[in-house]
Chain A
Amino acid sequence: MSRKKFRISGSGGQGVITLGIILAEAAIQDGKLAVQSQSYGPEARGGASKCEVIISDEDIFYPKVIIPDILISMSQKAAEKYGDEIEENGIIIVDSSMVENFVNDKAKIYNLPITQLAREEFGSPLYANILMLGALVGITEVVSLDKMKEAIQIRLSRGYEINVRALERGYEEAKKIL
């Protein structure tokens, strides 16, 4: 992997920024370079929030993502706003319990009922972001599951065990559809 650009989109409160920070942290702990930014700017207005991560073996200068290689879509509004922007042959992971009728013929789309899983198996939609992170690892193998656990330990002050379970569950769910 030389350089991968991620856009994690959803709505405020879904933990998309935390997801991005843990992803970038795992890459750093894996010896790679990473830059994470969240949009505060006018491009984020209108109920959709997004977080961007670039992971690379080489120095990263321009810190933002214009067209992502990998898009995560966790809400209808975010899907409508960012759903078209993807590199040719990119990867889109859609929380199918939150987004309906997602179409994009440039990319490979993976539909997973992430929020539903979070509710049913973890008792709260709060775990959707970590489940999604697990799914992301399962689909892209951008970093190892162990590095992701290390990043969770660094980044989350509480709930390490349950979050690691959510991570593993998302990973497993993604592997089922590969």
Chain B
Amino acid sequence: MENKPRLIQGNRAVAEGAIAAGVNFFAGYPITPSTEIAEILAELLPKNGGKFIQMEDEIAGMAATIGASLTGKKAFTASSGPGISLKQENVGYAQITETPCVIVNVQRLGPSTGGPTLPSQGDIMQARWGSHGDGPIITLCPISVPECFSMTITAVNLSEKFRTPVYLMLDEVVGHMRERIVIPNKEDIEIVDRKRTDKKPGEYKPYAVEEGSKVPDFADFGQGYKWHVTGLIHDETGFPSNSTKEVKKLLDRLMTKFDDHLDEIIMYEELEIEDAETVIVAYGSVARSAISAVKRLREAGEKVGVFIPKTIWPFPEQRLREIAQGPCKRIISAEMNYGQLSLEIERIVVKYVDFDTALKSNGLIITPEELMDKVRGGNIL
């Protein structure tokens, strides 16, 4: 039987999604506009056999999240711009140690403490390159309350499957709005657990991969396995190595980890693309404005469509290129920043179509009217 519809906030849907995904550990430090996630998990986790720890700061929150994951917990943290900046060193540590974890960023206007209550999408490049060096990352971006729930589960599953940190990026609008959701039944939710080693302690090599796989099997700390966890470049034993061969082997594996699995990771939605001469690319709350704009422009007979990446990193490059090579003549990238994802979109499509941007960064969501004006050649933005 279908559950009763509820009216809940995006941030609550993330918290309930985490519980549904089997998350049993949260460490973090509350910050607007993500606070409700910590608040609600502080209540839900202990009731569901999990642990909630409010740490002394965001750095410690990220460190404890990684530590818990190493013992086999499904570990989770949430923050916003200033806190996410503090977490960056440890995000890199999760990347190189291949520790599954999910980091929720409910984006607010930056830089620095910026505008605590103002929506923004200014952390989309930080999600990709915020920690130093080349490292693998998955970044998901829901546009609705039901997607906050389902994509939290996807984020946890992907982090487990690929042993990688995953960002779930909301913006203040999606995090705080309330809308209808029907929570799926437990038996309809797919849960992925990281693959555990079948080797005995002593025979286990923590970073050895099987033929054809790029993800090493995991051994939970506290179960008799001892292995070395380091941020230094390491070989398959987990101990540091300076051998250029080992350096290349590790980084090549990390940076190609997702390559054969893009269809499992990449999610997008498109509307009215087939004959569209203009395509708006938008994500997060702005995608909702773009859908409204496209519906109204279509009613007026204008050939406009919208492409909504739900997975931002790795970016759905192949599909967007196909669109650019089709009947589309113009692509407009719309986002609440000074043109971050626009750089990536321009790179992909500029050879095939005219490229334009619809950008706004004053603490208000882009409206459908502003996008309609942009499509029609205006410049009110």
Partner-B contacts on A (CB < 8 A): 21, 24-25, 28-29, 33-38, 40-43, 60-64, 66
Contacts and interface: CB of A to CB of B under 8 A. Distances in A.
A37 B177 contact: yes
Contacts, number: 67
A62 B179 contact: no
A34 B365 contact: no
A40 B176 contact: yes
B285 interface: yes
A34 B364 contact: no
Indicate the member of B179, B289, B369 with the most A CB atoms within 10 Å: B179
Interface in B278-307: 285, 288-289, 291-292, 295
Contact of B173 (A37, A42, A43): A37
Given A61-B288, A61-B289, A62-B292, A34 B367 contact: no
B119 interface: yes
Contacts of B173: 37, 63-64
A40 B172 contact: yes
A28 B118 contact: no
B92 interface: no
Contact of A24 (B7, B117, B291, B363): B7
B179 A36 contact: yes
A42 B178 contact: no
Indicate the member of B180, B285, B295, B362 with the most A CB atoms within 10 Å: B180
Nearest to B180: A28
A25 B367 contact: no
Size class of the B contact interface (CB-based, 8 Å): 20 to 34
Given A42-B118, A63-B179, 13 more contacts: A28-B180, A34-B7, A36-B177, A37-B176, A37-B177, A41-B363, A42-B362, A60-B179, A61-B288, A63-B288, A64-B365, A64-B367, A66-B367
B31 to A, nearest CB: 14
Contacts of B7: 21, 24-25, 28, 34, 36
Contacts of A42: 118, 362-364
Nearest to B145: A35
A24 B117 CA distance: 22
Contacts of A41: 117-119, 363-364
The 8 closest A-B pairs by CB, nearest first: A40-B117, A62-B292, A61-B291, A36-B178, A61-B292, A61-B288, A37-B177, A35-B179
B292 A33 contact: no
B176 A28 contact: no
A82 to B, nearest CB: 16
A25 to B, nearest CB: 5
Contact of A40 (B33, B178, B288, B295): B33
